[in-house]
Structure 1
Amino acid sequence: MKTDTKPANDRIGWRFDNSYARLPQSLYAQLHPVPVRAPRVVIVNHALAESLGLDFRTLPEAEAALLFSGNALPDSMQPIAQAYAGHQFGHLSMLGDGRAILLGEHVTPAGERFDIQLKGSGQTPFSRRGDGRAALAPMLREYIISEAMHALHIPTTRSLAVVATGESVMRETMLPGAILTRVAASHIRVGTFEYVAGTGDKAGIKTLADYVIQRHYPDLSEAENPYLALLNSVIERQASLVAQWLLVGFIHGVMNTDNMTISGETIDYGPCAFMDAYDPDTVFSSIDQRGRYSYSNQPHMAQWNLARFAETLLSLIHPEQEKAVALAEQAIHAFPEIYQAHWLAGMRRKLGLFTEEAEDSELIASLLTWMHKHQADYTNSFRALAAETFPEDAVLQDADFVAWHARWQARLSRQSESIASALGLMRANNPAVIPRNHRVEEALAAASERGDYALMQRLLAAVTNPYADAPEYSEYRTPPAPSERVYQTFCGT
């Protein structure tokens, strides 16, 4: 099927320089998206487009639908499906973009480079037995959650658009199909390195590592050991990222090595969810039967994934295997301390603490223990502490909490900053609104089953302004009733 008339570049502002497509062809397959029958625009992220130096507002909706479905692409795009591997729940598989096409790399007017990818764009050589397509609800979920994460200042891939395809996909039932346009600093993963390492191509590992350093960590090119420095830099970014997840109660759900980016961005919003009542063992993913990627286990799994990354770099870190292993192990063993430093610093901000005291860790642990015991809502508990007038909630009259609160107040009094400054710090670090699972599911059902996008738009407005006390969005701050609780989330493939 031939593609339609190509949208004019000068109206949009595309500036493509497809450097990944200049790497060895073993890393990708060249192909175009599979055209769809009747594409229709569901949503375009104009704020994101503007930050990229793009303008879709003047593009007729019919042309936008052709572009974001992959039915019509500018000549400057060089579509490819990327090859990668992945440890999926601990088991290594050779994978690749089974339902995604990287259209190319757009360079912003400021010189920043971003991947533009279509997700749900049809079968590729890596599809195995998959149909290469995506359903509308999971694509809208990724749009909502990724934009919420961005608003929470957490590094993330983002969503530029969603189009309905006019076709159905078969999962457990027939569902409306859709394609998401995803924007990322890059889609290079730990699994990309595992793929090359799995072929035994040591020269290929060096080519890929050099490319990553040039693209994401250019300062490392002057390091004494740039490949060890690369490992340490990725460890630092991932430790910071996972700490930020836990600070807002986020559970990724599928932390396989193909879902860990080298850039340090959150990627893949399949069975992800935000925790309501605090429980460190919380799991939502329907396929995570043993809690491998539970809320509290995420730092451990990040370290495990990074160890797999380190293994691919050993021949570059040092020519002597024993020395390379020792250097890599030293780097990996530093992860818990790096992570803990990021998490503790974030927790101090959540409690309005500008200074550091040795007893802070125990103060935080006591609060979390109390929250777990009383099934207190994680988000609302921290936000309540930041209120100028403390809420008269019955559970907050509990003797253990009263004692903890007195200790916290004494701790605040030992720093020179005012209480008003402490509360301001807390309000800037404790969201009032998160994309609660029952609200997300409610919006997705309305969109997918009835073609009603009003709830989604309202939810987006609330979660993209998460730190505001906006009365008009108060319903999004209410935890789910027992009948509204979502116990499982699904990946959508």
Structure 2
Amino acid sequence: MPASAPSAVAAPALAWRHDGDFASLGSAFYTRLAPTPLPAPHWVARCDDVAALLELPAGWLASDEALQIFSGNATAPGSQPLASVYSGHQFGVWAGQLGDGRALWLGETVQDQEVQLKGSGRTPYSRGADGRAVLRSSIREYLASHALHALGIPTTRALCLVGSPQPVQRETLETAAVVTRVAPSFIRFGHFEHFAARRQTDELRRLADHVIERYYPQCQSANNPYQTLLQTVGERTAQMLAHWQAAGFCHGVMNTDNMSILGLTLDYGPFQFLDAFDPHHICNHSDRLGRYAFDRQPAVAYWNLLCLARALLPLIGTEDDAQDALQTYEASFESHYQVLMFAKLGLQGPPEEGDAALLWQLLHLLAAQQVDWTLFWRSLSQSVADDDFTHARDLLVDREGFDTWLPAYRGRIARSEQAGAAARMLRTNPRFALRNYMAEQAIDAARQGDFSVVHTLQTVLQHPFEERPDHADWAGLPPDWAHSIALSCSS
């Protein structure tokens, strides 16, 4: 399709709301513009579950009409695309004005879900970049959003993925792609930082009131609604971080402009699910100082919340009030993390006195021996089910250390009703996680025009607790070449 203005098509499948949506905040918050048309678009993947979330008619998502809309070549009636402006701290340094440099907000549906194209061309906030996404990174984001959602981790969703032969220059020459992603809101910490930095208090208040009214109405009755908003966002963020740490998920670029006001995993870049359990693992090769190492993620999230607190200070009132609002963050993280980790151990109900020590002794053992995170927990689950701990024991080199730990665990699991514990563990510890090498296999095939690996991985990752013996290779240790995969911010 020629690079001209997108055409309008009839799309009764998409029903937009305009009362109280993000666009109603006013022109200070965004720039309206159309996406840049994408030449010769083709489907790479689609998600029926997200289509059902948007109540799209059966089969519509596979239509050419949908392909044109989600490639940016057509505009659905009622959609008024826009790019939002925000600012933020990147790697701990104030970066000033940022914004949707390669994304466009299409609107909010009547199902209270915002729809956004990522990779749809340049915007006023592109800062000289081309505004495009490449097939490689788009496949990673598409698969990751499905993987995290299936694990119960709060995240944006991916509706579909469109490819194109259009060349895009990154480290090498690649091809373009557009991901359509869906979330209740794409508002970030950086939106608040933007208006606070410019001392635009009216706009800051309008944004905060919008977020409270739409997403946190319980804050309206508080003595200080903005303080309560900060506290609630902090607790929601703490829950997300607890999920990340329990799943062994590394985000890789936790800048404040990548932090969702709703506590959703946002902007997948150099993310990684851990292979070997190294608490200090750095998944982003652009992160030379290790700011976003795996074990630092909870502390970085708190630092980002402090940035949000400073932005909200004109509304909250005093620094003491802002600090008080974040006092619950650590306790919220610790309590949710403990619940998630005890569930991985098969424990439920009120914790016993020695449960925390049992967990930390095991984590120390796994870290000291760099044991594969996903494989160990699934093997431990099977060991409990079979009452034979050979499965898990064989993953450690220092088996004496495991043997020393095991009697206390066996006694504890017996008091937790072992058969029920095993069933819970097999529903908690996934057999499959999106390892880097799996994504690389899907990307390599897609570059040759074969999207079957993307489709198969999507199916497997949407049901990560199923055994699937036909894909047992993806449930084992990663191949040796996986350790050479390097991810950067361009990933």
Query: Which category describes the TM-score, using the shorter chain as reference length?
Result: over 0.9
Q: How does 1:50-449 map to 2 (within 5 A)?
A: 50-55=52-57, 57-58=59-60, 61-93=63-95, 94-108=97-111, 113-318=112-317, 324-354=318-348, 355-387=350-382, 388-389=385-386, 390=388, 391-392=390-391, 393-395=393-395, 398-413=399-414, 415=415, 417-448=416-447
Structure 1 match to 2:457: 459
CA distance in 2, matches of 1:420, 1:468: 18
Which amino acid in the other structure matches residue 150 of structure 2?
A: A
Tell me what 1:321 maps to.
none
Stretch moving more, 337-346 or 244-253: 337-346
Q: Which amino acid aligns with 2:51?
A: A
Q: Give the Å deviation of 1:333.
A: 3.7
Offset at 1:422?
1.0
Q: Secondary structure at the match of 1:131?
A: coil
Structure 1: 4+ residue segments shifted above 6 A? none
Alignment check: 8 A CA contact 2:99 2:125 kept: yes
- TM (norm. structure 1) is 0.94
Alpha carbons of 1:395 and 1:44: their partners in 2 closer, same or farther (altered >3 Å)? closer
150-159 or 38-47, larger mean C-alpha shift: 38-47
Secondary structure of 1:428's match? helix
Tell me, in whole angstroms, the C-alpha distance in 2 between the residues paired with 1:9 and 1:455: 30
* Higher deviation after alignment, 47-56 or 57-66: 57-66
Alignment partners' CA distance in 2, 1:481 and 1:2: 46
Give secondary structure in 1 for the equivalent of 2:123: coil
- Displacement of 1:27 after TM fit? 1.0
Per mean C-alpha deviation after superposition, the further-off stretch among 163-172 and 18-27 is 18-27
Q: 1:252 to 1:451 in 2, by over 3 A?
A: same
| SS, match of residue 162 in structure 2 | strand
One-letter amino acid of the structure 2 residue matched with residue 332 of structure 1? L
Moved more, 145-154 or 37-46: 37-46
Question: Structure 2: 5+ residue runs without aligned partners?
Answer: none
Q: Structure 1: which amino acid aligns with 2:406?
A: H
Retained in 1: the 8 A contact 2:134–2:168? yes
Any unmatched runs of 5+ in structure 1?
319-323
How far the C-alpha of 1:59 sits from its partner, in A, is 5.9
| Alignment CA distance shift 1:96-1:297 (3 Å) | same
Report Cα offsets for 1:41-98 as digits up to 9, x if no partner.
Answer: 2222122111221136146643222111111112301111000011000111210011
Tell me the distance in 2 between the aligned counterparts of 1:144 and 1:395.
28
TM-superposition CA deviations, 1:185-238 (whole Å, max 9, x none): 111000000001011011211111000001111121112211111011101100
Amino acid at match of 1:51: L
In 2, the alpha carbon distance for the partners of 1:56 and 1:104 equals 21
Q: State percent identity of aligned pairs.
A: 38
User: Residue 304 and residue 4 in structure 1: after superposition, are their counterparts in 2 closer, same or farther (change >3 A)?
Assistant: closer
Name the SS of the counterpart of 2:360 in structure 1. helix
Distance (Å, rounded) in 2 between the aligned partners of 1:59 and 1:126? 30
- Contact kept, 8 Å, 1:135 with 1:492, in 2: the verdict is no
* Count of matched residue pairs: 480
Q: CA deviation at 1:2?
A: 4.5
- Cα offsets for 1:271-312 (capped at 9, x unmatched): 001001111001111211111111110000000000001111
Q: Distance in 1 between matches of 2:76 and 2:395?
A: 59
* CA distance in 2 between partners of 1:255 and 1:95 (Å): 15
Secondary structure of the corresponding residue to residue 294 of structure 2: coil
Question: 1:468 is matched by which residue type in structure 2?
Answer: E
- Conserved? CA contact 2:18–2:24, under 8 Å: no
Q: 1:471 Cα deviation (Å)?
A: 1.1
Check whether the contact 2:437–2:485 (CA below 8 A) recurs between aligned residues. no
